[in-house]
């Protein structure tokens, strides 16, 4: 038998918000996206939510993401993420998720973040959590800029393909491995391991978990890293048990919605 691993979806599973939503605001501030992008992205988000997780919806989201990012400087994106990570992500990491990650690591398991968000976002978040392995969307790059093509879109069945490839290289025993997600779109990921768990599940995933007698966890305590270290142990994972993550486009839609509802616009930095 091989080693076991634990695969964590990121948005609403490990952090209490979308990683793409978090960086939408600084992307707008730095001129990477426009008001027109906000409107188009709001429509893309609506179609994604209404269309669910079928292949056509995911393909449209992937293609829109690729077109949106075309021409962006990769280094600029990385710099924005690095400069805003502790402000926009650190306060929203679930204490329960952080504790669970530590439990798996203490048991000798590799922990892997699996997210449809871009690798430029996901990898720094992983480093914040002490996780070095990530499976994330990768954009094609030419001369330091995104070319408008997607090398790998980490959504739906593609996540499972990447997990299987990593398992073959690392000699993971998937039957003895774990997976955590909040979304029905990750059904393939959850079904490919021996120990699937629904975290803060949407309605469809909760129903699936009940039908399959999968554990369901409710994470409710996002706490900044500094407080977690001072107040350990944080919220026990066992206490949350009940017994039984797309891309930059969604981030822009969120920013546009909140910008319209605010009384005073945020001044440019």
Q: What pLDDT is stored for residue 44 in this prediction? A: 59
- For 264, residues 6+ apart whose C-beta sits below 8 A from its C-beta are none
What tens digit of pLDDT does each residue of 43-72 get?
655 555 454 556 676 777 788 878 888 999
Among the ranges given (47-51, 58-62, 214-218, 253-257), the one the predictor scored with the smallest mean pLDDT: 253-257
Q: Which of 9, 110, 182, 186 is catalytic?
A: 9
User: What average pLDDT does the structure give for the chain?
Assistant: 81
What tens digit of pLDDT does each residue of 117-176 get?
899 999 999 999 999 999 999 999 999 999 999 999 998 889 999 999 999 999 999 999
β pairing state of 145-152 and 133-142: antiparallel
What's the rounded Cα separation, in Å, for the pair 156 and 138?
Answer: 15
Q: Which of 11, 37, 182, 186 is catalytic?
A: 11
Instruction: Give the residue-averaged pLDDT of 94-102.
Output: 96
Q: Which CATH class is domain 5-228?
A: alpha beta
Active site residue 9: yes
Q: Are the beta carbons of 65 and 150 closer than 8 angstroms?
A: yes
What tens digit of pLDDT does each residue of 77-91 get?
999 999 999 998 999
Active site residue 182: no
Extents of the domains making up the chain: 5-228
Q: CA geometry: angle at 63 spanning 191 and 156, to 5°?
A: 0
Give the bridge partners for 196, in sequence order: 179
């Amino acid at each position: 038998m091989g080693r076991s691993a634990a695969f964590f979806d990121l948005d609403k599973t490990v952090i209490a918000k979308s990683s793409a939503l978090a960086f939408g605001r600084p992307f707008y501030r730095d001129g990477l996206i426009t008001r027109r992008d906000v409107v188009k992205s709001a429509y893309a988000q609506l179609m994604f939510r209404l269309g669910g997780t079928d292949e056509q919806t995911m393909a449209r989201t992937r293609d829109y993401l690729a077109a949106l990012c075309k021409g962006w400087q990769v280094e600029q994106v990385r710099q924005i993420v690095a400069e805003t990570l502790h402000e926009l992500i650190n306060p929203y990491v679930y204490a329960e998720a952080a504790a669970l990650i530590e439990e798996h690591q203490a048991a000798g398991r590799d922990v892997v973040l699996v997210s449809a968000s871009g690798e430029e976002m996901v990898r720094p978040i992983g480093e914040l959590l002490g996780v070095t392995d990530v499976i994330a969307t990768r954009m094609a790059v030419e001369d330091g800029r995104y070319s408008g093509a997607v090398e790998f879109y980490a959504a739906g069945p593609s996540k499972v393909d990447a997990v299987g490839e990593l398992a073959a290289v690392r000699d993971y025993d998937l039957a003895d491995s774990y997976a955590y997600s909040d979304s029905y779109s990750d059904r393939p990921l959850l079904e490919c391991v021996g120990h699937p768990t629904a975290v803060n599940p949407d309605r469809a995933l909760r129903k699936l978990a009940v039908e399959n007698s999968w554990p369901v966890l409710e994470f409710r305590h996002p706490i900044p890293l500094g407080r977690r270290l001072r107040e350990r142990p944080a919220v026990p994972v066992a206490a949350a048990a009940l017994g039984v993550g797309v891309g930059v486009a969604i981030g822009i839609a969120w920013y546009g919605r909140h910008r319209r509802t605010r009384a005073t616009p945020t001044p440019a930095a």
